Amino acid sequence: MTISRTSTMTSPTIPTTTLRTRPDLAGLASFRAGPTLERAIKLDSNELPYGPLASVRDVLSGAVGDVNRYPDNTGAELAARLAERYGVSPDNITLGPGSVNLCLQLAQVTCAGGDEIVIPWRSFEAYPSVAKTVGATVRTVALTADHRPDLPAMAAAISDRTRLVFVCTPNNPTGTVLGRAELEQFFDTVPDDVIVVLDEAYCEFTGDIDTLDGVEFVKQRLAEPRHNIVAMRTFSKAYGLAGLRVGYCVSAEPVSDLLKRVALPYSVNALAQRAAVASLAATGELAVRCKRISAERDRVRAALLAAGYEVPVSGANFLWLPLDAATERFKQHCLASRILVRAFPGNGVRVTIGEPDENDAFVVAARTFQCG
């Protein structure tokens, strides 16, 4: 079996005696994407098994002929469509090449060396790297016993050095969702001068789970003096545009203005902008695909529960298996069946929901795994 990797964790071999580089980056590893395996079932990256929405494909085909021109640096049309969708001003919208880049911009406008960023853990893998990139200290707060971000503990972890807090719901990699009341209570406890980012990358899959709509929450408070909540979303997941990289934040203007100051010019490419605009118009198509993925997620979870696994209720397009010490063995067991899953050593495995036949193959592999 031949496995190749699209990228690896590497440390640069820089001759520090001749180049003046930041010494604190020595412990910062490069991002590592998942392995690639020919003809494998790829359930490790939270990608949708479907491509762009059908009506978006035609738009992309027609836009290819214009890529010799620079994109609109302001993303005016996309920002206007998002503002119309949510009932805010385009000035409340910040675009970025994927939400991960917006995470970096948020860290850049809030933190310097010695400042702190509070995050739940485990959560989105990019948060610690973002903090280290800007020289900030990461303060991690363990999840609750039911695999959810511990909001009271996170509030207690905020100090006078804290500048930024990330809250991911549904949480990646556990899929667990935070409720409306507990989030509102948490926001009320955070000091006014600390920005809280509500990362809603998977919000389209939550269905009827009672949770806070972060964008609506920000909108309702735009007229208030407190402007420290930011809602962040992406077109990478439900919309099937992960390869085009486009995300956005909704925030008060003082925050969005700062974010735009540190944005790289032309960072959201022309195809991404056109595809995102078209995607916003395809609400019916989006609803159908999200319902399909959610139904498959619940079906797979039921099968895993019947097989004896612990699987938290998920509001995302993936499931979490808290396998602890058996995590790596489970990953290798799946790999023997040419199934790629995302392992977090010592913690658990995240399994993305794919096509029904792919999910069936995974369930078969899971049933034959010996935990003991």
Q: Which H or E run includes 278?
A: helix 270-281
Q: Does residue 199 lie within any of the structural domains?
A: yes
Q: Does residue 138 lie within any of the structural domains?
A: yes
As a whole number of angstroms, the distance between CA 205 and CA 175 comes to 10
As a whole number of angstroms, the distance between CA 342 and CA 351 comes to 6
In this structure, the answer to whether residues 107 and 155 fall within a common structural domain is yes
As a whole number of angstroms, the distance between CA 364 and CA 27 comes to 40
Question: Is residue 33 scored above 80 in pLDDT?
Answer: no
For the stretch 82-91, pLDDT in tens is 999 999 999 9
For 153, residues 6+ apart whose C-beta sits below 8 A from its C-beta are: 141, 142
| DSSP-assigned states of every residue in 294-323 | HHHHHHHHHHHHHTT------SSSEEEE--
In this structure, the answer to whether residues 169 and 242 fall within a common structural domain is yes
Q: Does residue 158 lie within any of the structural domains?
A: yes
Tell which of 239, 262, 281 closes a domain.
281
Query: Which of the two residues, 293 and 226, has the higher pLDDT score?
Result: 293
Q: Does residue 372 lie within any of the structural domains?
A: no
Question: Is residue 18 scored above 80 in pLDDT?
Answer: no
**pLDDT attached to residue 2:** 45
In this structure, the answer to whether residues 218 and 251 fall within a common structural domain is yes
Q: Does residue 343 lie within any of the structural domains?
A: yes
Other Cβ atoms closer than 10 A to 303: 18
On whether the CB atoms of residues 205 and 317 are closer than 8 A, the answer is yes
**pLDDT attached to residue 64:** 82
On whether the CB atoms of residues 262 and 132 are closer than 8 A, the answer is no
CA distance between the termini of the chain? 26
**pLDDT attached to residue 224:** 85
Question: Is residue 330 scored above 60 in pLDDT?
Answer: yes
As a whole number of angstroms, the distance between CA 111 and CA 231 comes to 19
As a whole number of angstroms, the distance between CA 265 and CA 116 comes to 28
Q: Does residue 21 lie within any of the structural domains?
A: yes
In this structure, the answer to whether residues 73 and 213 fall within a common structural domain is yes
On whether the CB atoms of residues 208 and 238 are closer than 8 A, the answer is no
Poorest-confidence range of 12-21, 119-128, 307-316, 321-330? 12-21
Q: Which two tokens stand for residue 163?
A: 């500048």
| DSSP-assigned states of every residue in 251-294 | --HHHHHHHHHTSPTT-S-HHHHHHHHHHHH-HHHHHHHHHHHH
**pLDDT attached to residue 8:** 41
In this structure, the answer to whether residues 117 and 163 fall within a common structural domain is yes
Instruction: For residue 346, give the CATH number of its domain.
Output: 3.90.1150.10
In this structure, the answer to whether residues 15 and 145 fall within a common structural domain is no
**pLDDT attached to residue 6:** 43
Tell which of 220, 247, 281 closes a domain.
281
**pLDDT attached to residue 17:** 59
> What's the number of domains the chain is made of?
2
Q: What are phi and psi of 186, to 5 degrees?
A: -65, -45
Q: Number of helices (H) and strands (E), helices first, in the chain?
A: 12, 13
The domain in which residue 39 lies consists of 3-51+284-367
On whether the CB atoms of residues 343 and 327 are closer than 8 A, the answer is yes
Selection from 40, 31, 60, 112 nearest residue 282 by Cα: 60
In this structure, the answer to whether residues 93 and 161 fall within a common structural domain is yes
In this structure, the answer to whether residues 174 and 109 fall within a common structural domain is yes
Tell which of 281, 297, 330 closes a domain.
281
As a whole number of angstroms, the distance between CA 19 and CA 15 comes to 6
On whether the CB atoms of residues 248 and 101 are closer than 8 A, the answer is no
One-letter amino acid at 4 equals S
In this structure, the answer to whether residues 258 and 335 fall within a common structural domain is no
Q: What is the mean pLDDT of the chain?
A: 92
Q: Does residue 226 lie within any of the structural domains?
A: yes
One-letter amino acid at 20 equals R
In this structure, the answer to whether residues 167 and 79 fall within a common structural domain is yes
**pLDDT attached to residue 3:** 47
Question: Is residue 24 scored above 90 in pLDDT?
Answer: no
On whether the CB atoms of residues 197 and 234 are closer than 8 A, the answer is no
In this structure, the answer to whether residues 41 and 7 fall within a common structural domain is yes
Q: DSSP code of 243?
A: T
Q: How much is the pTM?
A: 0.92
Length of the chain as a residue count: 372
For the stretch 132-178, pLDDT in tens is 999 999 999 999 999 999 999 999 999 999 999 999 999 999 999 99
Alpha helices in 15-91 (DSSP H): 54-63, 76-86
| DSSP-assigned states of every residue in 104-123 | HHHHHHH--TT-EEEEEESS
Poorest-confidence range of 18-27, 51-60, 328-337, 356-365? 18-27
Question: Is residue 329 scored above 90 in pLDDT?
Answer: yes
Q: Does residue 20 lie within any of the structural domains?
A: yes
In this structure, the answer to whether residues 184 and 315 fall within a common structural domain is no
**pLDDT attached to residue 204:** 97
Instruction: For residue 112, give the CATH number of its domain.
Output: 3.40.640.10
